[in-house]
A and B are shown apart, each in its own frame.
Chain A
Amino acid sequence: MSQLSEAQAEQYWKRNRSLMIRLMIIWFVVSFGCGILWVDTLNLIQIGGYKLGFWFAQQGSIFIFIGLIFYYVVAMARLDREFGVEED
Chain B
Amino acid sequence: MELATITYIVVGLSFAVYIVIAIAARAGSTQEFYVAGGGIHPIANGMATAADWMSAASFISMAGLIGISYNGYGGSVFLMGWTGGYVILAMLLAPYLRKYGKFTVPEFIGDRYYSDTARVVAVICLILCSVTYVIGQMKGIGVAFSRFLETDYETGLYTGMIIVFFYAVLGGMKGITYTQIAQYVVLILAYTVPAIFISFQLTGNPIPQLGLGSTLVGSDTFLLDKLDRVLLETGFKEYTTSVRLSTLNMFAYTASLMIGTAGLPHVIIRFFTVPKVRDARKSAGYALVFIAILYTTAPAVAAMARLNIMQTIEPSPGQHVLIEERPQWFKNWEQTGLLAIQDKNGDGRLQYVADPQRNELVKLDNDILVLANPEIAQLPNWIIALVAAGGLAAALSTAAGLLLAISSAISHDLLKSTFYPSISEQMELNASRGAMAVAVLGAGYLGLNPPGFAAGTVALAFGLAAASIFPALMMGIFSSRVTREGAISGMVIGLGVTLFYVFQHKGVMFVAEWRFFPGLGKNWFFGIEPNAFGCIGAAVNFIVALSVSHLTSEPPERVRRLVQEIRIPAGSVTAPAQH
- Residues of A at the B interface (CB closer than 8 Å) are 1-4, 6, 9, 12-13, 16, 20, 23-24, 27, 31-32, 35-37, 39-40, 43, 47-51, 54-55, 57-59, 61-63, 65-66, 68-70, 72-73, 76-77, 80, 84-87
Contact = CB atoms under 8 A, between A and B. Distances in A.
Contacts of B569: 80, 85-87
8 contacts: A6-B564, A31-B80, A36-B254, A49-B213, A54-B73, A58-B75, A69-B87, A85-B568
Contacts of A39: 73, 241
Interface residues of B, number: 51
B498 to A, nearest CB: 21
B224 interface: yes
Nearest to A51: B240
B79 A58 contact: yes
B296 A59 contact: yes
B281 interface: yes
Given A43-B241, A47-B213, A62-B296, A24 B91 contact: yes
Interface stretch (B47-55, B283-291, B338-346, B367-375): B283-291
A-B pairs, 6 with minimum CB distance = A49-B222, A2-B571, A57-B76, A69-B285, A85-B570, A48-B213
A39 to B, nearest CB: 8
Nearest to A67: B285
A24 B24 CA distance: 42
Contacts of A73: 90, 278, 281-282, 285
Interface in B51-92: 73, 75-76, 79-80, 83-84, 86-87, 90-92
A13 B567 contact: yes
Contacts of A49: 212-215, 222-225
Contacts of B571: 1-3, 85
B276 interface: yes
B60 to A, nearest CB: 19
B289 A66 contact: yes
Given A49-B224, A58-B299, A80-B278, A12 B568 contact: yes
B79 A62 contact: yes
